[in-house]
Amino acid sequence: MSTAPRTTRLARRRAQQGGPFFFRHRTWTIVLWVLLVAAMAPLAAKVTHDLTSSGFSNPTSSAVWADNQAARMPGAAPTIFLAERVSPTQAAADLTSVRMQRAVTHRVGTIGTLIFTPPGVSTAGLSAKVSAQGGTLLPVDPKEMGNQIDQNISATLRQSSIIAIPLLVILLLLVYGSVAAAFLPLVIALAGGLVGLAAVDLLETHITLSIYLTDIVSFLALGVGIDYALFISTRFRRALERPGGSVSAAVAESMQTSGRSVAYSGLAVALAVATLLLGGDAYWQGLAVGGAVTVLAVLLATHSLLPAILSAVGRRINWGRLPRIGRGGRFWPAIADFATRRRALAVPLGLAILLGLGVFGPSLNMRTEANPASLLPVASPLAQASVVEQQVLGQGAVAPLLVVLRLATPTTATTTWQAVATVTTNLGQMAGVASVESPTSQLSPAQLAALYARPALVPTALHQTLSRFSDFQKTPHTVLLVVVPRTGPDAALTRQLAQRMATALPRWVPSSTRTGVGGLVPLLNSFTQLTAQRLPWVLAAVAVVTLLVLGWATGSLVQAALGLGLSALVALATAGVLVLTVQRGGFGLTAGPVDAAITPLIFALLFGLSMDYEVILLHRMQEHLAAGEEPVRAAKSGLIGTGAMITGAGLVMAVAFAALLVSQLEVMKTLAIGLTTAILLDTWVVRSLLVPGISASLGKAAFWPWKPPAGRQPDPS
């Protein structure tokens, strides 16, 4: 019976047959990839041009319908502007020169002047005046704030890349101990990431994709690309170091072992991200599609470009070797011995760490705030202008509630305006309402019906005012009312007021009237509620993916269940860290709920990425079991062989996501804290202590029903 490992025998057989496919066609493979990257780079560079900072809503809610109707009103133009670098005195002079004396100004610290203009008045002349003096006129509204968020996200990608890539190079040098080997994963990650972003660019013209996708996808591609290349190229180098080992045999072995594990891992990550399709709205669906496509692009690079480069580089992969760097030494044998031989201490220690943090997890409060300025940095000019706006107009002015009425009768009928007057009166009497803007507050129903019947005779100024509430031609049955709450957009009282209004409106109008309450507060409240309802389904789908992929990859139902349970503990511990930091205001963050637009993504990625390390570790343990080692010894050997690689890969991924902490947006910092915590807990606690310790404790039952073939010897590397 042969004493050579099965993988080595297969590798030699492949070498005798001319080597694996990408060994034989390495030149053409590399050339095709160079052409592909060159073609995709321009698309990846402009990936943000059709992305959106919106999409946070429940598409089936009445709030979305009401908001869409309100957006169609021609008079719903911005009326509040920030004149940056313009003093109130100069602003007043500019307003006089363009005949806008009715506008009101307020100072915004040292930034500029806040200008309140009459509804429907063109500000083109004012904008030209401000620009001529070196200033900028910005509308203080959610749309412009969304544009600022887009710019901040693009800046985050640039700044975090500048920080992350040098750190990753240093870390890869420490892990690999060779200059050539350290740069290879970066090449694979960047090639796969560029193709992934280009695919996103092609998709964004057909489906709604979020601007947040660029940072998430870029660093996900960088992290998984480096991880996968690290796993495969490390196995390649070890196979190459054996006496008599050939390049073709090393390529074949690395792809048959680590390449196989990486294929399962990449599939698991892509499927885990794809579960966000169950989120139920355009934001989650965009993240699901964009994230899954990018992971698959990276997987394509690791299974085609990487083996081709390894074949071309061969033994030169050790060029630039750094002595005594990247050596395991005695550290991992000591950790492995502690985790398996002293498992009665190691397992409780690992569980104590996870449960100690997890005890705070159940208090996680998940919600997306409705104040558009809260997403911007505190020092942002628009954020400061929003503060002044609230001081002048009241806390609820920055996010008014938009009441939409679609009546059976047209706006030329007196009965239409009588119904609107009834609604206006009742809204004004509701607790928590500061004011109601309605045409019936100034004109009688009969007067309004007469004006809408003969729009050509309506004076221009009055026409502009009325068109804010109802279009004279396009929507003759729809009327908009603007309600300003007494409390701010993030207050529970404001959310409750929006719900009470939505419930009461049908009682105040004829039965044939459709009603709805729009605006940021009900929109984002419906998004939070939808996310909370769908999150259990997302987590259930992720759990099914975990069980199926781990069961398929390892042939073990026990390890599949164990992997799911331990990942759930990491998720609970990560939730606890988010409570202690984001929710309670740590790391310089403003204390508040954890953003509902980020939390499900963190958990989906956590489960997906954890399977990367799980499959690599379990496959190595199975190799030793198949070679005839006892379970305790196999668990120890598996950890010794993969511990440095897994924790090194985890550090790479953690650095990639931690770089997002440079963002000025708290939502990106939340993502960075959550994913960095999850990855470090998974690699250093679960894979280094719990999996080997529990597997050693369960013995042969740990891999049931999988049974190792007899008569194999372990890989000597």
573-588 pLDDT, tens digit per residue, is 999 999 999 999 877 7
In one letter, which amino acid is 112? Answer: G
Averaged pLDDT of the chain? 87
* Side-chain-side CA neighbours of residue 564 (13 Å): 19
Q: What is the pLDDT of residues 530-554, one digit of tens each?
A: 999 999 999 999 999 999 999 999 9
Q: What is the mean pLDDT of residues 434-452?
A: 94
CATH class of the domain whose range is 79-139:
alpha beta
335: CB partners within 8 A, 6+ apart? 639, 643, 688
pLDDT computed for residue 53 by the predictor: 56
pLDDT of residue 19 exceeding 60, the answer is no
How far CA 580 is from CA of 4, 186, 571, 586, 684, in Å, comes to: 52, 34, 14, 7, 20
CB 194 within 8 A of CB 44: yes
For 6-45+145-372+525-703, which CATH superfamily applies?
A: Multidrug efflux transporter AcrB transmembrane domain (1.20.1640.10)
Q: Which residue has the tokens 């984002």?
A: 524
DSSP-derived 3-state class of residue 332: helix
Residue 48, pLDDT > 70, answer no
Residue 180 has what pLDDT?
A: 87
For 605-667, give the secondary structure using H, E and C: HHHHHHHHHHHHHHHHHHHHHHCCCCHHHHHHHHHHHHHHHHHHHHHHHHHHHHHHHHCCCHH
Give per-residue pLDDT as tens, 139-197.
998 888 878 887 787 777 778 888 888 888 888 888 777 888 888 988 999 999 899 88
Contact (Cβ atoms closer than 8 angstroms) between residue 657 and residue 675? yes
Percent of the chain predicted with pLDDT > 90: 52
Render pLDDT for 299-331 as a digit per residue (tens, 0 to 9): 999 999 999 999 999 999 988 887 654 445 689
**Which pLDDT score is estimated for 318?**
86
pLDDT of residue 55: 63
Same fold, 6-45+145-372+525-703 and 79-139: no
Provide the whole-model pTM: 0.84
Say whether pLDDT at 11 is over 60: no
Measured in whole angstroms, how far is the alpha carbon of residue 563 from the centre of its chain? 24
Q: Show the tokens assigned to 188.
A: 């694979």
On the question of pLDDT at 4 being above 50, the answer is: no
The winner for highest mean pLDDT among 219-228, 366-375, 685-694 is: 685-694
Cβ count within 10 A of residue 592: 16
Helix residue ranges, H only, 359-472: 381-393, 414-428, 445-453, 460-466
Q: Is the CB of residue 214 less than 8 Å from the CB of residue 197? A: yes
pLDDT at 436 over 90: yes
Mean pLDDT of 618-624: 93
Please report, for the chain, the start and end positions of each structural domain, with discontinuous segments joined by +.
6-45+145-372+525-703, 79-139, 374-524
Residue pair 346/685 in contact by the 8 Å Cβ criterion: no
pLDDT value for 73: 80
Would you say residue 691 has pLDDT above 80?
A: yes
pLDDT digits (tens, 9 = 90+) for 260-296: 999 998 998 999 999 999 988 878 888 888 889 989 9
